[in-house]
Amino acid sequence: MDILLLSSDKKIQSALNEGVVGSDSLLVPMSYWNQLDKFQRKALSRKLPFLLRRYTKYVVSLDRLHWRGGKIKYNWGVGELKKMTIHVNSGVWTVLGALAAAHGVSRCYLFNYLLWLEEMGIGDSIENTMNRGVPQFHDIYKMIWTLDLRKNLVSRELYFEPNPLKNKHTNTFPPPDL
């Protein structure tokens, strides 16, 4: 009798920031695009790294932007869309992709959500509260997509380290004296 061995120890791994700036495309609603002047349109193509530095900690702590684990939410229903080319390094594009995947939305949807946060003026309060005196990104992000075929469940989870709410050493403190 022959034995068939299957291995699930497969992994894709590469440098997060490959040092090369690539060209990628994002879609923004024409209604937003038409509000911008020539200089704002040009600046918009360079805004993604700034938005990620400013809002990543906030976005990872939000309830997920889409409620279905097996579907991706796109920018449907916002009217006509404008394709915009951006030039960012692979690390920026990967962080945007991981955050979008964890929320069950497209990169374009998340980019437009970040633009909306900025337009509403939410960034100043977030930056003063979450980013003051500490690095703007966590050290590690883990996005886990679980498909449980037996229970007919799909879930998306995003973990980040360090996580101040889940300290590794919580069991080392003595119990409170009541």
In a domain, 54, yes or no: yes
- Cα separation, 7 vs 10, in Å, equals 7
In a domain, 166, yes or no: no
- Cα separation, 149 vs 65, in Å, equals 24
Where in the sequence is the domain holding 131, given as residue range(s)? 21-137
Q: φ and ψ at 134, to 5 degrees? A: -135, 160
In a domain, 168, yes or no: no
DSSP at 19: S
Count up the domains in the chain and report the number.
Answer: 1
In the prediction, which pLDDT does 114 show?
96
Place of tokens 């409620």: 67
- Cα separation, 28 vs 81, in Å, equals 5
Mean pLDDT of all residues in 121-148:
78
- Cα separation, 161 vs 141, in Å, equals 7
Residue type (1 letter), 163 = N
Read off the pLDDT of residues 42-88 as tens digits, 9 standing for 90 and up: 999 899 999 998 998 889 888 889 888 888 999 888 889 999 999 99
Structure tokens at 108: 């374009």
Q: Which of 46, 40, 55 is nearest to 85 (CA)?
A: 46
Helix (H, G, I), strand (E, B) or coil at 167: coil
User: 124 or 44, which is more confident?
Assistant: 44
Helix (H, G, I), strand (E, B) or coil at 13: coil
In a domain, 118, yes or no: yes
Structure tokens at 95: 């962080």
Local confidence band at 167 (pLDDT 50, 70, 90 cut-offs): low
The answer on pLDDT for 33 being more than 80 is yes
